[in-house]
């Protein structure tokens, strides 16, 4: 009987108190903005510290699963556009989801995915949607933008 009572109390504690340990929407928003700042500073280790190990990137044609693979892709992209900068104009959060509206600029200086760099610059509007876990780590990212806008600006 004593064991059952302890187990019941432990379960009750977890059910009542666990939500209090989850990150708030405001904390998730702060993390998302800090992640963008890290990218602007080319601090990929700092950026990576905000991703869960099971992070999935949905910004490309196929999902990229896993923190290490996603970081590899981001480093490759920033290598092609070394002056890329993200200027946040609006951010909103609700629960575990953060949305960020930004203007992204950069110059294509190094080859990317078999395509030769043109040296041309781009300016696009981007909406990022980031999903967080209870520990405040990003578990998923979607980027909403028109890739043809960028391609029309940087292609020959």
pLDDT for 129 beyond 90: yes
Lookup: tokens for 4? 């059952």
Round to whole Å and give the CA distance between 10 and 88. Answer: 43
- What residues does each domain of the chain span? 24-154
pTM for the structure as a whole: 0.83
Q: What percent of the chain has pLDDT over 70?
A: 87
pLDDT tens string 38-56: 999 999 999 999 999 999 9
Segment 46-100, tens digit of pLDDT: 999 999 999 999 988 899 999 999 999 999 999 999 999 999 999 999 999 999 9
The fold of the 24-154 domain, in CATH, is: Nuclear Transport Factor 2; Chain: A, (3.10.450)
Strands (E), 33-120: 51-57, 64-65, 85-94, 97-107
């Amino acid at each position: 009987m004593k064991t059952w009572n302890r187990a019941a109390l432990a379960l009750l504690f977890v059910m009542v108190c666990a939500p209090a340990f989850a990150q708030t929407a405001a904390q998730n928003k702060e993390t998302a903005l800090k992640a963008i700042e890290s990218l602007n500073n080319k601090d990929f280790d700092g950026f990576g510290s905000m991703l869960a190990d099971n992070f999935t990137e949905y910004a490309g044609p196929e999902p990229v699963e896993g923190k290490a693979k996603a970081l590899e892709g981001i480093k490759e992209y920033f290598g092609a556009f070394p002056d890329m900068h993200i200027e946040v104009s609006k951010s909103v959060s609700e629960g575990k989801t953060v949305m960020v509206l930004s203007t992204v600029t950069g110059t294509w200086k190094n080859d990317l995915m078999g395509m030769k760099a043109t040296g041309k610059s781009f300016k696009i509007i981007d909406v990022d949607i980031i999903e967080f876990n209870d520990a405040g780590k990003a578990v998923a990212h979607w980027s909403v933008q028109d890739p043809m806008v960028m391609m029309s600006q940087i292609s020959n």
